[in-house]
Structure 1
Amino acid sequence: MARTAGRPPRSKAEIQEFRSKIGKHALEIYRAEGFAAVSMRRLAKEVGCAPMTIYAHFEGKTDILKYLWADVLRDMSNDVEKKLESVVGPRERLRSATQSFVDYWVDHPDHFRLVFMSNDVTRADVSTFMMDDDTLAHFRMFSSLIKEVHPKEHDVKMTTDTLISGMIGIALCVNTIPDYPWADATSMTEQLLTIIIA
């Protein structure tokens, strides 16, 4: 049987590496010029391939955005989990995770804007991404930590959602209204946590 011409199929690792390369270039363009400047044609030029090669790995610009969201959330979760490795005690673990979460977004304002303030994306796309189990896992970790602090808490979801919305709110204010003389983000986070675990 005659062999067909062309490149042999890429391995899963090669595909993931190429997707990562595309994502890296998309993030660089986003940081420099905003997500509106990201296009399949421009990414192809940056990566050094044909636009159709980009489409073989991503359905379109929104798919690249979802990839970047997932990558940033994974980075944030890894940061929180790494800091939790050396912390014992339920309250201390919740405190460490809460501070690490807020610190991550304050220290990475471009990541915050990408995940929480992206334009040019439909409500349906955001909803699909948010309801994905991998996405929800990044936030469920706080439910587990709250259960450790309050094992008999009846409404863990309400407590978790209040904590998450408060943490995101602190990061939002610090990142988007920097001229206001906010209290220190660490102090605000500590105050939020004191109310949550009282």
Structure 2
Amino acid sequence: MTRRSAINSPPQEGRRRRRQAEESRAIILQAARELFASEGYEGVSMRKVAERAGCAPATIYSFFPGKRQLLHQIWEEVLQELMDELKYSYAKDADLEKLCLTYLEFWLNRPDDYRAIFLTQDRPPADNDDAGYFVDNSDALPDLDIFCVALSEAQDRGEIQPGDPVEMRSILFCAMHGVALGLVTIPEYGWGDPTHLKVNTIRTLVRGMRRTD
């Protein structure tokens, strides 16, 4: 071994190990996402995740203390991807209807993530008072305020009626999740054209918020 290669080996080895760790973590998270979506939270165990990921359970525990932490990490990563799309959409075209469509289409394009996140009830451990709910400890969730910003700016432009933006955002979310829940979990029902359903639902909602004077 030359002096140059001897000097360069430790940093290269460290980078290789970090890359391998990142790849292993990504494989574990993907396996967990698939299992949470198909079997629900109660049906998933760390051993099942390990089998799906093709690794030993000890490998998973080196990254995550338990399956709730696994789900929380999935929750955060998916929500961050959602927030990135919402911010891009609103920066490109500050339009409330388009922002809502971006939100709804995100979940309709990712039905497994929708099932894993929204069909799994978050249950903090009874023996840990500091654990809290995911919604109380999320880094990404506060960015949903972009809807309040969009509503407030539409009010300032006189496009929609006055009102509490937080309450109006909740109305939008309830309707959008109603569409997503139906199309994702009961696709066999005769909903009609999914594109017309999502567009017309959002259009009806937003138009219902418009000023009438």
TM interval, shorter chain, is: 0.7 to 0.9
Question: AA paired with 1:56?
Answer: S
Contact 1:76 1:104 in 2 (8 A): yes
3-state SS of the aligned residue for 1:134?
coil
Contact 1:106 1:174 in 2 (8 A): yes
CA offset at residue 164 of structure 1?
1.8
Question: AA paired with 2:76?
Answer: A
Contact 1:58 1:64 in 2 (8 A): yes
Q: Partners of 2:83 and 2:25 in 1: how far apart?
A: 21
User: Which residue of 1 is the match for residue 199 of structure 2?
Assistant: 186
Contact 2:89 2:102 in 1 (8 A): yes
User: Which residue of 1 is the match for residue 3 of structure 2?
Assistant: none
- State how many pairs are aligned: 187
TM-score, scaled to structure 2? 0.71
How has the CA–CA distance of structure 1 residues 124 and 131 changed in structure 2, closer, same or farther, with 3 Å as cutoff?
A: farther
Gaps of 5+ in 2: 1-12
Identity %: 26
TM-score, scaled to structure 1? 0.75
Question: AA paired with 2:207?
Answer: T
Contact 1:149 1:197 in 2 (8 A): no
CA-atom RMSD, angstroms? 3.3
Determine which structure has more spread, i.e. the larger CA radius of gyration.
2
Quick check: 1:139 aligned with 2:144? yes
CA distances 1:60-112 after superposition (whole Å, capped 9, x unpaired): 1111111111122122222223333421xx4x2x2211011111112222221
Quick check: 1:112 aligned with 2:114? yes
Question: AA paired with 2:180?
Answer: A
CA distances 1:9-39 after superposition (whole Å, capped 9, x unpaired): x988776554333212212334555545532
3-state SS of the aligned residue for 1:150?
helix
Gaps of 5+ in 1: 1-6
CA offset at residue 176 of structure 1?
2.6
Q: Partners of 2:183 and 2:59 in 1: how far apart?
A: 39
Quick check: 1:44 aligned with 2:50? yes
